[in-house]
Chains A and B, each alone.
Chain A
Amino acid sequence: MTEELSCQELVELVTEYLEGALPPGDVERFETHLAGCRGCRNYLEQMRHTIQVVGHLTEDHVAPEAKETLLATFRGWKRGETPPSPA
């Protein structure tokens, strides 16, 4: 692969690029393409934004009842009891 990358090829390499899994020669072709292509720079930026948005999905907290059940499990385990296996 010595030919220039097309945009369609580049978008398939984005994850490998971000993961640091592209061979050095391909990194160079990737970055050369980026330098001359605003569309692909925007695409890469969109991908980074996407990762960020996914990373900010809200956490749910433990419901109090679930916590109590877990605590009971923990105390039972501590006393050496084996709780009945769930149905």
Chain B
Amino acid sequence: MPATQLPYVPSSVRRPGEPFAMTGEGKPTGFTLSAEDRRVVEALRHGDETVFLALVERYYATMRRLAAVYVDDPAVVEDVVQDAWLGALQGIHRFEGRSSFKTWLLRILTNIAKTRAQRERRSIAFSNLVSDDVEGDEPAVAPERFLTSGRWVGHWAAAPASWATVEDRLAAIETQTYVAQAIQTLSPHQRQVIILRDIEGLNADEVCNILGLTETNQRVLLHRARSKVRRVLEQFINAA
């Protein structure tokens, strides 16, 4: 990003020293837009191509992964990413800075992907509700791994091993491929949450905001997703 770029500040909107708000209707949310996001939004509004391309690059993998939860044709995934950027550009003048730019962008993407999935009628079991995905029994670890009777009931029958000695293997490329495949087998809601939390490093609040989840549901989905990936990883490590 060119350091000399003068920020474009509509004078009717913001006076020096005022907290960042892009329109008069911004309600206090306790959220403060970062200086970088502020620069980015101003640059986009100003039509800064360098900044735009840097953002495209930065969020590309995230956007594709998230879109791929809804639509499975790679060409459609690409369309969704393109449409999300168009939507973001068209809406950039209305961006109010109530969430981070990334959260805002991914929410646009999610909405477009959902609509597209409905249109394609191949919404990959997305008709199922979050509630179906957080209710019911889905133990983190197979019940057979625990003792079922005696004084130590509920304690490990087959305890997990330390992975301290297999760190090289954990970092190996084939492990990554295997884990990526394991993520594909998660339910769509679980997949979204683990992608955003653990691959993209968003925090719980941001993920609740993007996906419209309650704090508890977000955590249950994350728990189930991580637990399943661990199980798969354990099988993979033990099979070596």
Which residues of A are in contact with B by a Cβ distance under 8 Å?
Answer: 6-9, 11-12, 14-16, 19, 21, 37-40, 42-43, 45-47, 49-62, 66-67, 69-71, 73-75, 77-78, 82-83, 86
Contacts and interface: CB of A to CB of B under 8 A. Distances in A.
Given A49-B163, A77-B89, A57 B180 contact: yes
Nearest to B63: A62
A45 B163 contact: yes
B180 A6 contact: no
Interface residues of B, number: 55
A56 B86 contact: no
Contacts of B180: 57
A45 B160 CA distance: 10
A55 B171 CA distance: 11
Contacts of A62: 56-57, 60
Given A15-B219, A53-B233, 14 more contacts: A6-B155, A15-B227, A38-B159, A39-B155, A45-B162, A51-B226, A53-B179, A57-B179, A57-B183, A60-B64, A61-B60, A62-B60, A67-B56, A69-B82
Nearest to A43: B160
B56 A70 contact: yes
Given A49-B163, A54-B198, A57-B180, A14 B79 contact: no
7 contacts: A7-B159, A15-B219, A42-B162, A45-B164, A57-B183, A62-B56, A86-B82
Contacts of B140: 11-12, 14
A15 B222 contact: yes
Contact of B86 (A15, A40, A57, A83): A83
Nearest to A63: B78
